[in-house]
Amino acid sequence: MKFQTLSVASSLAIMACMAAPAHAQDDDNDRANTIVVTAEFREANLQDTPIAITAVNAEMLEARGQTGIEDVAAQAPNVSLRPQPQNGGSGLIAFIRGVGQVDFNYALDPGVGLYIDDVFIPTLSSSLLELIDLERIEILRGPQGTLAGKNSIGGSIKLFSKKPQGDGSGSLSVEYGSYDLIQMRGMADIAITDNVSMRISGMGRSRDGYVAMLDYGALHPGSNVPTIGRGPYTNVDYESMGGENLVAARAALRYQGDRVEINISGDYTREDSQAVPTVLIAAGRPTGPGQGSDIFFNPTSSNPSTSLTNTFGTTPWLVGTDGNPVLLNCQFVPAGRYSCDSANSGGKIGGYDARYVSYSTFMDGMEGNPQAPYKPYFALPITEFEGWGIHGNLTFDVTDNVQLVYIGSYRAYTSKWGQDQDATPIPVAQLDNKLDHSAWSSEVRLNFEAAEGLVQGTVGGYYLDQEGEYEARVDLNYVNPTIDFIHGPDTTPSTSKALFATVTVNPFEDFGLTGGLRYTKDKKVYTYYRSNPDGTIPNGFNCFVANGVFSEPNCILSGLYDIPGLFKGDRWDWRLVADYRFSDSFLAYASASTGYKGGGVNPRPFVGDQALPFNPETATTYEVGFKSDFLDRRVRLNGAAFLNKYENIILGKQICPESSLPSPCLRPENIGSADVKGLELEVFAEPVDGLTIDGSLAILDFEYTTAVDASGNLVGTAINGNNITPYTPELTYSFGIQYDHELNSGGVITTRFDGQFQDDVFTNAENTDWGRVSDRFLGNFRLAYIAPDDDWTVALEVQNVFDKYYFMSKSDVTSNSLGVVTGVPGMPRTWSVAVTRNF
């Protein structure tokens, strides 16, 4: 057992070893693609490891032009990662095999575990990570936890940074592209002493926004909408959304002794970006019986049934130039079938592509009144993040057969972002959000081998301690009557403790049995604080509604101040695996495992009877799979089929029939159980020297098993029994084709195309038609010249080659009377040129 190289990693990619340019593939050993892995605490070929894994190394990341983990996930079967929409700030939505989490709030645990150098990242709001100086990324599908770290019910995504080598190497890359993209990346690796080395890496990126924020009143001088100028002048193009300004840096120290290795690293990230880009898709008052009827948003602005009259009592949300309320309707939809925008001429508005135009103002200029005395209010069109962390890893070879590993970390961040939920000049809903979070973790593992390799395994313990605060200014005019209050700062201290063990026994040369066990104990306290914007506490005494107004401002929120909600729970999880090698080129395995995600309390009650708890969700997964090589190892095909018995599923509801205020509602609840079945295939082929093809295919079938009511909905919900969890496509596939041509000079020209297809997904548990994100196929292209000895690289990249207009997410808030549908459009076709110098 070679402990000097042992770490709790999973694997390199199925295709990773063959991702290097052609001039690096000089013999049959490269074609054999022998990859050493240590997923189960023993060195083994990837093809001998009975786990469903997708991973890529640094060379493949560069070849694909991937700089975000969501890009990597798009080429992994049954994995769905995407940035949070505008209401989530700088964070990630993550689902694997239909299991995951949308809400960034600390009250809910992620369903997919994210790790950096074996350190668990406990919140979605800090998980949209820049890929800086990575050695590899690994995606493990199915419940994880008996091997290491935090329990993850859906799967794990692991990022491994490059360790210092002390070889005096370095690199510098400069890139320029569309929307004035300027990006720089650099690295230096130096030796301090014979056994101490240091590696410093960093990056910076700035890019203009791709969604124009335009002044509706200035572009429509004959309308009833006032201009929204900044300062004494009206600036039609006064802002944009989607612009980035980001810097990140990492420093690592490494000590290598005879029996000890110590790695210490620190990282820092700062983002000062524009608001997440959001456009209006449809607007008006839903009047029909269904969520998908065109009559809801008929582009006829004079039709009162499709306009939303925007008044609070007798006070208009937005006073028009004629003194009357401005109506919310299709006039504010810049493009598409639900638009009646008179400024749209040939698909252009003010010289901009109308599909990438928003009339957002982030402003509530409504005149203050006794019910809403805290106006006007202006949200900030920003996405800001500042975070840092310190990691430590100690590996000590106690004997040739026993190894001790310690992993410790401390991480902290502050995240701020603004939201204009309606994407119109009318102040339907505006928010400013702030998250403060810190966490420290400790993990100890004892890896061992006995009986001359017959038995191998690990035992260990894990501890995580978190402190989190969430504060927001929440201005919701659409609630009847309106509410405008301070959410928080809600506090969420939590702890998680665990013991785990995994043992592998090889009774025969070609047969292995693995068993794992985990005990987890969680505690979480969520404390509500609701106050008025002036710091006073809402008065609930004799709270009533008369003529569309409350007797006291925000009195509906009374009783939600300094009120704690507690979750405590413990859980045993297990994993069993049997694998058998039928031949040198074919391995089959079968496994069963369980997973768990902790419960909590609803973090966003609008009234006291919505402040309800939810229980943990659990999963039992049965999986069979195979790993195969054939045709002289020019082709590799790996596959897995699974059945996931998914119980007490936690999803956020937009409609709460059990509450005195059914809408608005944003309540997490255990909505039921489901059977999730799926098939996954991954292939890599080198049909001729220099030409490589990789691909993946995933099919998923989701079926609720919970009883339904007479309407076909899961009992106690508005969620139909035929629905599927959010952000879960039933079909995905991806492929990459790369050709490396070696020149007589020794340089290499590399050409690569990557394509990916994703079926329809829904963004809410109710699976409303307006919350459906249509299927899409995206293509990316890269052409690169690599100089002899890899001294220089010049690369041209084109993202979204076919200029596909698509949405990363949608927000359907017609069901809670807000009367708008918004979406986050993906970037149009972009190009960039990068020059890299290696030292």
Lowest mean pLDDT among 75-79, 591-595, 660-664: 660-664
Task: Identify the pLDDT of residue 344.
Answer: 92
Task: Identify the pLDDT of residue 53.
Answer: 87
C-alpha span between 546 and 628 (Å, rounded): 72
Confidence of residue 20 (pLDDT cuts 50, 70, 90): very low
pLDDT tens, 771-797?
Answer: 899 999 999 999 999 999 889 999 999
Check pLDDT > 80 for residue 38.
no
Task: Identify the pLDDT of residue 46.
Answer: 64
Tokens standing for 241? 């959304």
Task: Identify the pLDDT of residue 31.
Answer: 44
Tokens standing for 217? 């009143």
Counting residues of the chain whose pLDDT is more than 90, the rounded percentage is 59
Q: Which residues are within 8 A (CB) of 633 and not within 5 positions of it... i.e. 6 or more apart?
A: 31, 32, 33, 585
Average pLDDT over residues 398-424: 94
pLDDT tens, 585-616?
Answer: 999 999 999 999 999 999 999 888 888 999 99
* Measured torsion, CA atoms of residues 813, 816, 820, 823, in degrees rounded to the nearest 10: -10
Task: Identify the pLDDT of residue 174.
Answer: 97
Check pLDDT > 60 for residue 698.
yes
Task: Identify the pLDDT of residue 309.
Answer: 52
Lowest mean pLDDT among 32-41, 159-168, 346-355: 32-41
Q: Tell which wins on pLDDT, 60 or 765.
A: 765
Report the DSSP pairing between strands 776-786 and 748-758: antiparallel
Q: Which residues are within 8 A (CB) of 434 and not within 5 positions of it... i.e. 6 or more apart?
A: 414, 415, 416, 470, 471, 472
Check pLDDT > 60 for residue 228.
yes
Task: Identify the pLDDT of residue 645.
Answer: 96
Q: Which residues are within 8 A (CB) of 226 and not within 5 positions of it... i.e. 6 or more apart?
A: 217, 318, 319, 320, 321, 425
Average pLDDT over residues 389-402: 95
Task: Identify the pLDDT of residue 24.
Answer: 38
pLDDT tens, 809-825?
Answer: 998 875 555 678 999 99
pLDDT tens, 433-455?
Answer: 999 999 999 999 999 999 888 99
Confidence of residue 406 (pLDDT cuts 50, 70, 90): very high
pLDDT tens, 371-384?
Answer: 788 988 999 999 99
C-alpha span between 71 and 92 (Å, rounded): 12
The overall average pLDDT reported for the chain is: 86
Check pLDDT > 50 for residue 332.
yes
Average pLDDT over residues 390-412: 95
Q: What is the enclosing helix (H) or strand (E) of 741?
A: strand 731-742
Confidence of residue 253 (pLDDT cuts 50, 70, 90): very high
Check pLDDT > 80 for residue 287.
no
Contact 60, 18 (CB under 8 A): no
Confidence of residue 259 (pLDDT cuts 50, 70, 90): very high
> What DSSP line would sit under 680-738, residue for residue?
EEEEEEEEETTEEEEEEEEEEEEEE-S-B-TTSBBTTSS-BTT---TT--SEEEEEEEE
Check pLDDT > 80 for residue 18.
no
Check pLDDT > 70 for residue 808.
yes
Most confidently predicted of 119-123, 141-145, 694-698:
694-698
Task: Identify the pLDDT of residue 553.
Answer: 84
Average pLDDT over residues 738-766: 94
> What pTM value is reported for the model?
0.89
What Å distances lie between residue 641 and 77, 573, 699, CA to CA? 11, 21, 9
Q: Is the peptide bond before 376 cis (omega within 30 degrees of 0)?
A: yes
Q: What is the DSSP letter of 746?
A: S
Average pLDDT over residues 377-401: 94
Task: Identify the pLDDT of residue 13.
Answer: 34
Residue with tokens 């997708």: 54
Confidence of residue 629 (pLDDT cuts 50, 70, 90): very high
Helix boundaries (H) for 486-629? none
Amino acid letter, residue 352: Y
Residue with tokens 């990570």: 129
Confidence of residue 239 (pLDDT cuts 50, 70, 90): confident
Contact 250, 205 (CB under 8 A): no
Check pLDDT > 80 for residue 301.
no
pLDDT tens, 523-549?
Answer: 999 999 999 999 999 887 667 666 666
Average pLDDT over residues 88-101: 89
Length, in residues, of the chain? 839
